[in-house]
Every structure is written in C-alpha cells, then in structure tokens.
Chains A and B, each alone.
Chain A
Amino acid sequence: AQTVTQSQPEMSVQEAETVTLSCTYDTSESDYYLFWYKQPPSRQMILVIRQEAYKQQNATENRFSVNFQKAAKSFSLKISDSQLGDAAMYFCAYRSAYGSGLGKLTFGQGTILTVHP
C-alpha cells in the first residue's frame, strides 16, 4: 500500500516571500501521479499542481513549482511571492497509474500554511 507523509504540521511565511512544503511517499510502483491540493477554510479542495512520475521535468504553475525527486520519493511544493490568499491547508496526494488504483487519491496529513502581511 502507498503512504504519503507530510512532516510539517504548520508553516508560516511573510507575504511576498518564498516557502517550501515537504512531502515524502512510499510506493513500489514505477508509474504514478503526485498532486498538491489546497483546502481553504471554505473546505473546497482545489488542485494546485500535478506531476507525472515518468516526466523528469518538474511541474510549474505560475507561482507554484515542485521539486520531484523520484529516487528519494520526495515531492516538495515551492510557493514564490506568497500572497494572503495562499493561506490554507495543503495536502500532498498520490494516485496510482494502474488497475483498481485509478481514481483513488492517497493523501498526506496536511500542512497548515499561514501567510503574514
């Protein structure tokens, strides 16, 4: 079974600064997908960025980028130029690319991000 671990329960950053959220995972599969989701107090889970394991290039979406280290099974999220609206709970998630694992997301415990003005 796959597991996802987020070792930082809480992180804080000053507005306009950069912050990195950590995530590690464990799997025996070679093909899979990794995601970062954001959950603000409104509870709506929003996809921030995704990475396909077979792609070596790190994904980037505007101010959000990842550092994907497949051998180390590490998948961190970097938020540049942090904004007040980035404050939320962030979840790292794993999805298999095979069989009955399709569609099932395995989430980490989450990291609460606080942005200070």
Chain B
Amino acid sequence: ETGVTQSPTHLIKTRGQQVTLRCSSQSGHNTVSWYQQALGQGPQFIFQYYREEENGRGNFPPRFSGLQFPNYSSELNVNALELDDSALYLCASSSSGSKSSYNEQFFGPGTRLTVL
C-alpha cells in the first residue's frame, strides 16, 4: 500500500505565473483535501474534492482551482501567482462512506512553492 505522494517537492515561480501541483491519493481513498501552510503557521484549508467534484472550499480566491481524476489523484492550480502564495502546499487523502471515515486523513509530504 503506497502512501500519499506529491510532486514536485520544491518549485520556484515568479509573480504572475501559473503553477500546477499534483497529489496521488493513498490506495483506496476517494477524497482529497488541499491545504496551504505559510511558514511557521498552521495549515489553512483550500478545498476538498470527492468523486471528481469540489466538495467544500475555504476562504481562497477563484484563482485557486483544482481537479480530481477518475483514479482519485488530484491537481491544485494557482493562477496569477502573488508573493503571498509562497507556502507549503499539503494534500491529504481519505475515504468517504461514513462520518467517522473522514477521521483518517493521510497527508503527503507537501510541495514547497516560492514565488519571487
């Protein structure tokens, strides 16, 4: 059983550019959540995808968007990058089906994005 993986590990972009981050869910998981973690802060919820549809969103602008694919892997896209987008981006996978099943969110190692 493989865990949650994310790519790339590190990424450097310039302001105004667009970026795509990728996440592969743990085997058997059909739900993916994305979080933004600024340096020295706790993660902030961006959005969640379940069965290829957005299923809950945090306080992030529309330039943050995502996709979930039939194999439950996911992408986070950020357009018009700003300096404040520099952060660690974490994805977490889980399996739906019952209230308690959402408890087990398994996190990936994150992608460190630097915007210059």
Given contacts A42-B109, A100-B56, contact A33 B90 (CB under 8 A): no
From B13-21, B69-77, B78-86, B97-105, give the one contacting chain A: B97-105
Q: Indicate with 1 or 0, residue by residue over B84-116, a CB within 8 angstroms of chain A CB atoms.
A: 000010101010000100111101111000000
Q: Is the CB of B41 within 8 A of A43?
A: no
Is B48 close to A, CB under 8 A? yes
Q: Is the CB of B43 within 8 A of A44?
A: no
Given contacts A103-B31, A104-B58, contact A45 B45 (CB under 8 A): no
Is B25 close to A, CB under 8 A? no
Number of interface residues of B (CB under 8 A): 27
Residues of chain A within 8 A (CB-CB) of B58 are 104
A95 CA to B106 CA in the complex, in Å? Answer: 14
Q: Is the CB of B102 within 8 A of A103?
A: yes
Q: Is the CB of B102 within 8 A of A95?
A: yes
Q: Indicate with 1 or 0, residue by residue over B53-64, a CB within 8 angstroms of chain A CB atoms.
A: 001101000000
A43 CA to B107 CA in the complex, in Å? Answer: 10
Q: Is the CB of B55 within 8 A of A103?
A: yes
Residues of chain B within 8 A (CB-CB) of A19 are none
Q: Indicate with 1 or 0, residue by residue over A28-43, a CB within 8 angstroms of chain B CB atoms.
A: 0000010000000011
Given contacts A97-B99, A104-B56, contact A109 B41 (CB under 8 A): yes
Residues of chain B within 8 A (CB-CB) of A43 are 88, 109-110
